[in-house]
Structure 1
């Protein structure tokens, strides 16, 4: 059976979770290509299936089993490999899923091809998983899944101790890529005619901690964005998500006058209640959050601001929730990413009193998602009549081509293949029934 694994020459990938996972999947896929593997789509028959897991919510855990079944249905003799956060946190649980052959932890996943000749379908699933304190080195990565944009990883891990979060347990301490390597990766992306780079990481505002997890600050996040602004060939740079306490005035002001950074911030809030922010062990209060939004809008009036928010955290009363709802309603933001709180093993929040019933969590989540629709509509309406630049994407969606403006307004026009992967100035005309701005 070992010889069969060595001869394996096709591989397919499935990625759950964040942009960071997508960047790492893409890098791992390139390592398979270097070993002579042909890449297949996940719904095609392949000899090896790699599932990059997420464990931010209970739903991501549940999806894993259905994805394994899908792979198994394509080829019962295929090797199925689990990597990612869930694989680090609960390797035995994944190994027990029928069809899974190999589970790799946080450090082992980057050497995945080294393990292939150890596999046999006749054996129980093999686990190679480090203690998370061993994840103290940095592996750079970037995704080049489509022609228009790439996700570039610049940082990994987190030193924060938020009471609801398993990410430090899954990814280890905060550590950063060297500035030299980030610029090298950005240049490689540029050489592939990709127009936009999205910076990713677990806590990218913490960028600058030494390459091997030490606390020597060689460069700051501001140093990083200033250096990236001069990469030839990249038309746009976008900051995926940054903690409010790490989004400094200097960064906001630089983005406002930057050559390539776009006016778009995604700033996690989690709760509009200072009491709950304290219970979550977040490193800011709502007053600082308001200040970051105001500062961004002062220097970039058309800036798009996205917000992460958690509903149903232990101890969240109706008053706490309404406080958050009204806080967001009155804030000059553009859209919300709403997360329904789910208990995670080995977190402090899992043992807190004041558990919110699941039906209440879902009701609150629905209310905030409705608010998000209104916020996005209001933001889009504020942009009508203005001329913005759209980066057009490759997919033909029911006769339309879609893209995003620099400030993240979704736009569509009639399909034209000549527009793909081009930047075009457009005047934002009208909002269609589907909520997307339509260009005539």
Structure 2
């Protein structure tokens, strides 16, 4: 996929006198010209509010805005574009499920099940819901290599379970969870299945019908789109049951002096002026990903991991977290170098132009579970190359030499 590099202007940046090697894709991805052009074109030619005007610009903006809803539905295999709700991102989507569906359906004694690998966005809302309703929060354990322990899941999910919420892929371990299998288990016990798809949708084909999940959330900025735009997908019957959380313009069908009737989903959740440019940018990102193909992207990332993982593992003092089999993970590689704090390691890599993440990755319970305070994390995407992988390995070796011997 080397020919894609010219589509991403930022990848030509020079960092500390080195050409940028961007390996922080699990945090956010870079944007191709096609996405930047779509956003610019909206502002230069079609800038108007949606659903509110009969003039030409308003009609054009609305057509694009609603057209993306159909693109999203097709992209994730949804039945109906009316099941697609625009949000600010995965975090807001998961909060809405907890605050709207959760507060109206859960009671004291009900159980909410998550795992130890969850991002804070798929943990803190459920903690708060449990505190507010008297429900009990329970955790599915992990296997030795960081995968979801399905035997433990069968014990943790019971007839008291009302909600099971898991990440489709871990932002730390790179693990791809068996969502279809867990969904079947959740449904057998009468629970709904919620999925944080932020680390999955950009990297592999996702079909919500085939998975049979009840809610699925993801973010635009992790899939080449702009920040501040994401998706909450939910089965129509569940969205119909959920009360809106924000009140104002455009989410109403009729307003009286003392009572208001709300629109049907998805519009009852989309009060106020939406991130129109962001949605249009997300649509352009979906077009870009479809043109390449998610199967091809997944295979490309796997080849990179198959190439770099053995080399990283071979460096003495490196500990890698998650499955050792590249076929069982995404392009996320979290690791530590003995005796070196992850922040120091990331700073040293940055001096070689290699951008990685360091910290707890918004997964502090997982860090505690792993027995560490933080890790360094390199995450690959469709525009990364084998050369990027080589430069990562070289930078880690340089950093090790510096911290152990004081010189490069």
Which of the pair is proportionally richer in strand?
A: 1
Greater helix percent: which structure?
A: 2
> Whose RCO is larger (CA < 8 A, sep 6+)?
2
Structure-2-length-normalised TM-score: 0.31
In the superposition, the TM-score normalised over structure 1's length comes to: 0.29
